[in-house]
A and B are shown apart, each in its own frame.
Chain A
Amino acid sequence: MTLLGFSSYLIALGTMSGIYALLCLGLNLQWGFAGLFNAGIAAFFAIGAYVAAILASADSAVHLGGFGLPVALAWPVAMAAAGALAWVIGRICLTLQGDYLAMASIGIAEVLRIIIKNEEWLTGGTRGIAAIPRPFETLLPAPWNNLAFLGLIVVLVAIVYLAAERAWASPWGRSLRAIRDSDVAAAAIGKNVAQFRLEAFVLGAMVMALAGALSAHYFKFLGTTAIEPLMVTFLVWVMLIVGGSGNNRGAILGAMLIWLIWSATELLTNRLPAEWITRSSYIRVLLIGLLLQVVLQKFGKGLLPEKPPRLVGERRETR
């Protein structure tokens, strides 16, 4: 592998890790902070991706589009759309206990996938949306534009991370943790449980939508394969559990580590004989499933376990 090839591989690796880090941070807001079991991450990712792609892509005879909006406008709209969907779902489902929310959210993601597959006038169906512009693409020459896009993702991850850290230490975060650990007790001291849950759910969904929008603009093509529950919902859950739910750094670490394993094993298995290459992708899924089980049983709290924020005035040594 040449140096240029290797560095562009690293850039691609970093870009995808960043997108997954955002998904993990979003899920951590819902599951780690508030204990909301969202099994339909793909739904919010898809809303973000499709709204951004439709707003920013060129005109097409097949699907809705041709608005040519700049990403600075398309992405916030995409996030708002996912937030609105999350608000509606949250109003209906958040009073339900864990397993019910999991069933309902997986249902929402599936129905959305069916809509995206069937409504060609809107999404291009299985043919998808092509020619989605990538930021910096025409601005800079070949390796630098990709590096600039990676830089943008790193900045966005940093912003979301810092905001989530602030939220974790804030009274808002503390209330969410109280609700997560015992909603009855939290309600008894006067916390508006439904409102707090709804806020965490909507915010998490918006972060997931940002990841979706970034992914659409990164690949420049968006089809139904991009919103497969395996690659969006379940891989993200594995990442958060491995990294450590309830810990924003754990979320980012999990995303980077699992994505590194995922893509490095792809590199490895591509050297296998041809008849094994198609099968190897299933071996990878099998191993990822097994890794999840091992981490759940041996490191139940993940690599970076959750810890409460330092209290004001508390000294470092005491911890």
Chain B
Amino acid sequence: MAALSDFINLYLLPGLVVGCIYALGAIGISLLFGILRFAHFAHGDMMTLGAYLAIIFTASWGWSPYAALPVAVIGAAIVALGLDRAFYKPFRRAPGIVSVIASFGVMLMLRSAIQLIWGVDVKTYDIGIRFPMEFGLLKIAPRQVTIVLVTAALVVALHLFLTRTRLGKAMRAVSDDADLARVSGINVEQVIRWTWIIGAGLAAAGGVFIGIQTKVHPNMGWDLLLPLFAAAVLGGIGRPYGAVAGGLAIGLAQELATYRWFSDEPFVDPGYKPAVAFSVMVVMLIWRPTGLFKGRS
């Protein structure tokens, strides 16, 4: 029983939590690809930005990170709108790959700005130690419950937005066929603005969750990029629901791969977790590049 308890508490639950965080980042990558037709390489750094924006409030005024989360989300959305206006809007009519190069530049600028403002040291939110709740075999930390529940709530909200609101429907229309959407009178620029707000907002929430779960450092966005892309590709790029499934799958795969499956040693050395995400991505690219949920090719 101890082995099962270990498996659930040390591998399955952390995998689920990491998966939620990846899902929040991958949704943005997938939505942006659907609407703007380019892979946003600065998306990991949007998550870092969210995590650091929250630090302003936790460090200076002693806010709880959960209270700082909405402010960080709004802040990241505003920054994303500014970045879009300055660095992506000029390339709307250019091939998508030019925007990818521009996102390289944004990535360098975001990261160095974060390093400049907040320094390079690892930071935490000072939540204090909360003892995990025990339910028989399960040992669940309150923050794990919060992260999973808030992520679920955000995904449901996104679903309602995409299916019930005019703007959400317009967003799906632009994603399916931008030209057709434009001639049917949809304000494409408005749709793009909301894509940035949602994508950057969810990324910022994911970034704050990383800070709540572990710690914050300026390079974490770079380390996130590979699992985020893997999640988006797995779910079928351009498909936000696929990105959620992909994020959960990649998070679980990374954690479960380090379990002692066949011997007393971890099956995959924990240092190689990013390689697990990469392997999944490569297998998908060979076997089914459109992803499990038939995304864009």
Binding site for B on A (CB under 8 A): 37, 39, 92-93, 96-100, 102-104, 106-108, 110-111, 114-115, 117-118, 229-230, 234, 237-238, 241, 279, 282-286, 288-290, 292-293, 296-297, 300
Contact = CB atoms under 8 A, between A and B. Distances in A.
B36 to A, nearest CB: 11
A contacts with B: majority SS: helix
Contacts of A289: 105-109, 112
7 contacts: A96-B289, A98-B100, A99-B100, A103-B281, A104-B281, A293-B102, A293-B106
A92 B116 contact: no
B20 to A, nearest CB: 22
A97 B297 contact: yes
A51 B252 CA distance: 35
Interface stretch (B182-190, B194-202, B206-214, B266-274): B266-274
Given A37-B97, A282-B116, A293 B87 contact: yes
Contact of B108 (A100, A103, A234): A234
Interface stretch (B147-155, B167-175, B222-230, B254-262): B222-230
Contacts of A98: 96-97, 100
Contacts of B39: 99, 102-103
Contact of A118 (B33, B90, B269): B269
Q: Which residue of A96, A229, A285, A289 has the most chain B CB atoms within 10 A of its CB atom? A: A289
Interface of B: 33, 38-39, 41, 86-87, 90-91, 94, 96-98, 100-102, 104-109, 111-113, 115-116, 222, 225-226, 229-230, 233, 269, 271-272, 274-275, 277-278, 281-282, 285-286, 289, 297
Contacts, number: 116
A286 B112 contact: yes
Contacts of B41: 39, 102, 106
Given A290-B109, A296-B105, A37 B229 contact: no
A92 B286 contact: yes
Contacts of B111: 285
Contacts of B225: 106
Given A229-B222, A279-B116, A110 B278 contact: yes
A92 B285 CA distance: 8
Given A92-B286, A110-B278, A282 B105 contact: no
Nearest to B115: A282
